[in-house]
Chain A
Amino acid sequence: MLDNRILEQLFRRNYSEMIHLARVLLGDDGEAEDVVQDIFLRVADSDIMPKNDSYLLTAVRNACLSKIRQMQLHEKVKHLLPIEAETDLQPVDKQQGRHDDITAFVDEQMKEPHCSIFHLRFDEDLTISEIAHRLGLNPNTTYKYLAQSIQQIRNHFKR
């Protein structure tokens, strides 16, 4: 078993980043905590130190994807999780960079009301009718704006 002091150092150095990644991928704080605790339990049981800290992030990513694969379809869709196994796995830092790019694009280049609709849909999980009500728009118009927002992101990152 790994020495407890070494394990504590490893835990304290990496926990925040690991839990952050698990929350992003799973969208559930409790599940994210379970994933990270399980990884450290496995590390504690082993005599071998992880090769480097990025190994732990990759372990989190893989564990989260495995958890998602086991979920029911309704649950996946409800939390906007991938419904099929992700085969083209980029390094974790590249994926995080892309997520940052999407946020930057929405905040800096997307015009209103698209930007507000995007945030209400993805940050606050409001339905189309709730967004329409909040912004005083027609639901049909709101559908159109949300579809356009997604299309804009798609076009931007296609370049």
Chain B
Amino acid sequence: METINDNIRQLLEMLDNPEAYTEQEIQNIINRDEDTRETYRLMVEAKRSSRQHQADKPIDVNAAWQKFNQMNTPKKHHLGWMKIPCRASRVAASFIAVLLVSGIAFAAIHIVRSVVGGDLKSPTQESQISISHHPNVPTDTQTADTIATSQPVIYDNIPLEKMLPEIATHYDAKVTFVKDDARQLRFRFVWNPQKGIDQVVSDLNQFERLTVTLSDNQIIVE
């Protein structure tokens, strides 16, 4: 009995100051006999039960989700089917966007040419107007099917401070954040550029955490 206590006492002493021991000494102390090994194992369990009891402190799942989403967001910008690095995918997306815009412009010119026949001025102007209505949205916030002007733009998990100025630019409006907290709010928001700014503000107010008003062509976020 005394031997067991001596070994366990040595174990307890070592655990109070493990830095004073070499790895080999630690191994020797813990594995000296079955009782000492079992005592260490029980101490591991005792420590776990203590942590289990103490770990009941509140956990902010919202904050954890936001943090995780920020880590996960760059992955969502990948063009999944291309399996290429993020930077390259952005370049590719830009290139595709340019091609699509050029294609739309070409198609518009071609159709109007066919209809009007020979009159090059007005169709060209029409196509330019159509292009100028394209929202100034970076390709990494767009999905492939949202690049054309009349199509809705999907903002998926994009911070409000990035999303709103882009939308406001389309209406020549400005954005003011009354509280900085709102800047980092993220939503899944589908913006239809064909809607008026009043309607967009109304849509944004559907989010519980958001109060948006429009005053003197200024979008104010509270």
**A interface residues (Cβ-Cβ under 8 A, vs B):** 1, 4-5, 7-8, 11-12, 15-16, 19-20, 23-25, 27, 33, 37, 40-41, 44-45, 73-74, 77-83, 96, 98-100, 102-103, 106, 118-119, 122-123, 127-129, 143-144, 146-147, 150, 153-154
Q: Give the A-B pair count, Cβ closer than 8 A.
A: 129
B156 at interface by CB-CB < 8 Å: yes
Majority secondary structure of chain A interface residues (helix, strand, loop or mixed): helix
Complex interface residues of chain B between 4 and 47 (CB less than 8 A to chain A): 5, 8-9, 12-19, 23, 26-27, 30, 38-47
Stretch at the interface among B50-58, B100-108, B110-118, B207-215: B50-58
**Is B42 touching A24 in the complex (CB atoms < 8 A)?**
no
- Bound-state Cα–Cα, A20 to B61, Å: 12
> For this complex, into which size category does the number of interface residues on chain B fall?
35 or more
Known: A4-B76, A80-B46, A127-B16. 10 other contacts (CB 8 A): A27-B47, A37-B71, A45-B75, A73-B23, A74-B18, A83-B40, A99-B48, A103-B53, A122-B47, A154-B39
Q: Contact between B49 and A99 (Cβ–Cβ < 8 Å)?
A: yes
Residues from chain A with a CB closer than 8 A to the CB of B23 are 73-74
Interface residues of B (CB under 8 A from A): 5, 8-9, 12-19, 23, 26-27, 30, 38-56, 59, 61, 64-65, 67-68, 71-72, 75-76, 80, 156-157, 188
**Residues on A with beta carbons closer than 8 Å to the beta carbon of B65:** 8, 11-12, 15
Give A135 Cβ to nearest chain B Cβ, in Å: 16
Give the shortest distance, in Å, between A103 (CB) and chain B (any CB).
5
Query: Do the beta carbons of A20 and B76 come within 8 Å of each other?
Result: no
Are A20 and B59 in contact (CB-based, < 8 A)?
A: yes
Nearest Cβ on chain B to A143's Cβ, whole angstroms = 5
- Which of A37, A40, A118 contacts B46 (CB under 8 A)? A118
